[in-house]
Each structure stands twice: as C-alpha cells, then as structure tokens.
Amino acid sequence: MAWAAAGAACASLVTNGMRVGLGTGRAAAAGIHALGERVRTEGLLIVGVPTSPRSEEVARAAGIVIGLPGDPLDLAFDGADAIDPTGLCVKGAGGAMVRERVLADSAPRFIVLVDPPKIVGSLDEWGLLPIAVVPFAATRVVAQLADLAPVTREAPSDDDMVLVDLTVPPGADWQQLADRVRALPGVLDHGLFQLLLDDVLIGHSDGSVTTAA
C-alpha cells in the first residue's frame, strides 16, 4: 500500500506530452504501474525513458511508450535507499545509480518515492556508499579505497561497470568522502545524491502520502 500510494501521487504530477525518466527498483515500479493505469484509463500520452532493462520491461507491460535518452525530460522519478534530514540520499542498491543520475540531471524535477523506513536520522544508519568503476581500473580503485572495506559485487551494472560497496565510517562527512571517491581515475560515479525534500514523496501503509519537507 505504501509504494502504491507514493507511486500514484507521483503519477498524478505527469501531464500529456511529457517525457518522463523511469527509475529502477520497487518504488519506481510502483510509479510506473500508476502511470500505466493513467495511460489505460485516461488515455495519457507520455514517453517513458527507463534507467534499466527491468524498468523498460515493466513500462512496456504497463502500456507506456518507450523513448531513448538524450533529449531533455520533463520529470524523472526513482526510489532511494536512505534519505537524511538535509536531503542527502544514498541510491544504488540496485546498481543503476549512474543512469539514474543522468536522467535526474536531464529533468527540471526529480521525484523520489520512499516508505517511512527510508527516512533516517543520519546516513550512518545505512552505512554503505555504492560506486561504479570502469573495469580496467577496478583493482586499483579497490586498493586505493581499502580503508573503506570495499566489497565488489558479483554482477556488473547494466553498462558493464564494476559495482563496489564502500563502508562509510560513522560520523564521516559523506559529501567529502563522495568527492574523494569521484576524484579517483576510473570511478564513473557514486550513489550520493542531494534532493529537495519537497520532492521526496513518502507513502504510508494507510494510503496517505507526505513529503520529507
């Protein structure tokens, strides 16, 4: 119910003719399903640009026309792993954070759908920062980040990047750490995002929706 409520609230922001970025994961799928319902029942005409083959499959099944990235978007939405009171957010548990940042940057508004447990007092409660690394550089990057106990995932990203999860020490400056990681040759991106709290839609089990603001 929580995901469905957040997804419906997000879908209500979409109007005819929009190009919409479609995130990856359970929350994003709820938004895609809600958009598909509007397509079927209202004749909503939109183009969806998915961030993964999984999202594309869900969108096609929902009856949403699929478009290619490149042209600007009108709106993009996705889920999140954890969001703190300042709007700092960790994404990337599903491994699609690079594409998700590309689409978020392509849209004037980026909506994030979550349930209450995703709202945390500090990102330390989550504790992990995922990064995407060019395969050629992966061994060296992991060695350079040995102090962060890097764990390399078995499966690559949809763009064949190596995915590595870093353990962030409690009390660390997440933004400073993300900047350090991003500066390493071969690191394509990380999962730390800065959000507008008004654009974080929190779905609740009773079907209500609030924002993080």
- Active-site amino acid positions: 100
At residue 206, what are phi and psi to the nearest 5 degrees? -85, 5
Inter-CA distances, 27 with 3, 5, 8, 81, 213, Å: 6, 10, 11, 10, 19
Centroid of chain to Cα 105: 12
Strands in 75-78's sheet, in edge-to-edge order, are 65-66, 47-50, 19-22, 75-78, 110-114, 200-203, 209-211
Concatenate the DSSP letters of all residues of 148-191 into one string: G--EE-SS--TT-PEEEEEEPPTT--HHHHHHHHHTSTTEEEES
Inter-CA distances, 124 with 24, 113, 151, 210, Å: 23, 20, 17, 24
Tell the residue number behind the tokens 């995932």, with chain if given: 153
As a whole number of angstroms, the distance between CA 208 and CA 206 comes to 6
